[in-house]
Amino acid sequence: MTRIGEWLRKAEAKLDEYGMGAWIAAMVLGFILIWPLGLFILGYMLWSGRMGCGKHRWRRRAHHAGETGNTAFDEYRETTLRRLEEEREAFAEFLGKLRAAKDKAEFDQFMADRRRRESGPDVQPA
């Protein structure tokens, strides 16, 4: 049983080395030769995250978002991300002020129209 496990680990490493196309080719060949084998490979690809879908994809992305080991780049990235977050907050504040100014202008216009209506019809001298 150990030999089979070793062979499977080597086959997995080799397919990973060649990439997604090799996994798909193995799956198709599995379906052609013995359909349960193809089904097993498809299930394994989905379970292990090799299809690029599901919860495993998010784990890989979160892992890559960490430090790179290059301190200069990590500092630059942190500084840039901090600056972008500050700019986003400033822009959100600007949009809030812009909306408030627009709302105030619309309200002032409404109140002016209302006062005109309440004062009665405009009487024009003849």
Amino acid residing at 83:
R
Where do we find the tokens 């997604």?
A: 20
Angstrom distance (rounded) from CA 26 to CA 41: 8
Indicate the length of the chain as a whole number: 126
What are the DSSP E strand ranges found in 2-123? none
Q: What is the phi/psi pair of residue 124, to 5°?
A: -100, 130
Query: What are the boundaries of each domain within the chain?
Result: 1-52, 67-118
Angstrom distance (rounded) from CA 51 to CA 47: 9
pLDDT digits 0-9 by tens, 6-50: 887 888 888 888 888 888 888 898 889 888 888 888 888 888 877
pTM above 0.75, yes or no: no
pLDDT digits 0-9 by tens, 39-60: 888 888 888 877 766 554 444 4
Angstrom distance (rounded) from CA 6 to CA 3: 5
Angstrom distance (rounded) from CA 104 to CA 75: 43
**In 3D, which of 65, 64, 70, 25 has the Cα closest to residue 45?**
25
- Rg of the chain over all Cα atoms, to the nearest angstrom: 32
pLDDT digits 0-9 by tens, 64-103: 556 778 889 989 999 999 999 999 999 999 999 999 999 9
